[in-house]
């Protein structure tokens, strides 16, 4: 099993310990021994952590599917390679989703996995790490981390990044978001809509813009919702217009 750089061990261990969680299974035997054991003395702390906003239940997630190779990067690793990569992931980190019991802890673990991916040389393992970070970001209700995970993956792999990002944002329950996080979701959805419009993928642009409207409404931002609605109407008009003639 590949041993992680010590600075990554320290990063992950610090994040998890600060969240009141045990360290990942399989990180490092010495690091595991250094972590404080779970005892009855920590029971009060664990109960106190239950007052935090619980992480959203994990549902069936959209998968990042491979497209035809381009000059940007290679295709998504094969299913056989991904089976081995997922096994490697579990050996290193165990099941992060099961250990992160609150939204804040889940966000920390997702961010730590993004840092892990930057140093990973195995393409299949990197793909799995990024995909797991994206799934955790959905559970934590973090549009920003979702976007980072998808952008990092799309810089090295060919897949339908816009659709994956939109579907991931769509899975975040609006009712669970505070105004600040709802505003983040609205801005992220508008970003997807803009990129889809540039690609002339108007169906996706309209869907993403509709999500933005709902998110602005959840945030209580009337001006943002009105502006997003006007943009949606403009997108719908553009989608119905005949395509420009080739020169």
Three-class secondary structure of residue 158 per DSSP: strand
The reply to whether 101 and 211 lie within a common domain is: no
Q: Grade residue 75 by pLDDT with cuts at 50, 70 and 90.
A: confident
> Is residue 164 in a domain?
no
Domain-ending residue, one of 108, 129, 159: 159
Distance CA 74, CA 157 (A): 5
Residue 44 has pLDDT above 60, yes or no: no
- Domain enclosing residue 153, as ranges: 1-36+78-159
The reply to whether 143 and 89 lie within a common domain is: yes
242 vs 200 pLDDT, higher one = 200
Does residue 96 contact residue 136 with C-beta atoms inside 8 Å? yes
Distance, C-alpha 12 to centroid of its chain:
17
What are the two backbone dihedrals, phi and then psi, of residue 149, each rounded to the nearest 5 degrees?
-60, -45
Q: Grade residue 24 by pLDDT with cuts at 50, 70 and 90.
A: very low
97 vs 198 pLDDT, higher one = 198
Q: Which residues contact 187 (CB under 8 A, 6 or more apart)?
A: 143, 212
- How confident is the model at residue 169, as a pLDDT? 98
Taking only the tens place, the pLDDT of each residue in 110-169 is 999 999 998 899 999 999 999 999 999 999 999 999 999 999 999 999 999 999 999 999
Domain-ending residue, one of 159, 189, 213: 159
The reply to whether 17 and 106 lie within a common domain is: yes
Three-class secondary structure of residue 77 per DSSP: coil
The reply to whether 137 and 199 lie within a common domain is: no
């Amino acid at each position: 099993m590949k041993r992680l750089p010590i600075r990554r061990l320290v990063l992950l261990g610090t994040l998890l310990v600060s969240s009141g969680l045990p360290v990942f299974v399989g990180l490092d035997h010495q690091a595991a021994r250094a972590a404080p054991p779970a005892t009855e003395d920590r029971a009060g702390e664990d109960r106190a952590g239950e007052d935090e906003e619980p992480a959203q239940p994990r549902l069936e997630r959209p998968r990042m599917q491979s497209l035809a190779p381009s000059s940007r990067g290679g295709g998504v690793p094969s299913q056989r390679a991904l089976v081995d990569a997922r096994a490697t992931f579990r050996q290193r980190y165990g099941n992060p989703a099961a250990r992160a019991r609150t939204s804040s802890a889940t966000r920390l673990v997702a961010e730590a996995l993004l840092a892990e991916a930057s140093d990973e040389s195995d393409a299949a393992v990197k793909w799995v790490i990024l995909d797991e970070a994206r799934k955790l970001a959905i559970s934590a209700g973090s549009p920003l981390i979702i976007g980072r995970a998808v952008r990092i993956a799309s810089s090295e792999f060919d897949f339908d990044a816009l659709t994956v990002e939109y579907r991931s944002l769509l899975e975040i329950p609006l009712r669970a978001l505070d105004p600040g996080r709802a505003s983040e979701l609205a801005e992220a959805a508008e970003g997807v809509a803009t990129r889809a419009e540039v690609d002339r993928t108007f169906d996706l642009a309209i869907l993403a813009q509709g999500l933005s409207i709902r998110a602005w409404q959840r945030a209580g931002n009337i001006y943002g919702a009105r502006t997003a609605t006007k943009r949606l109407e403009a997108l719908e008009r553009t989608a119905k217009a005949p395509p420009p003639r080739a020169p």
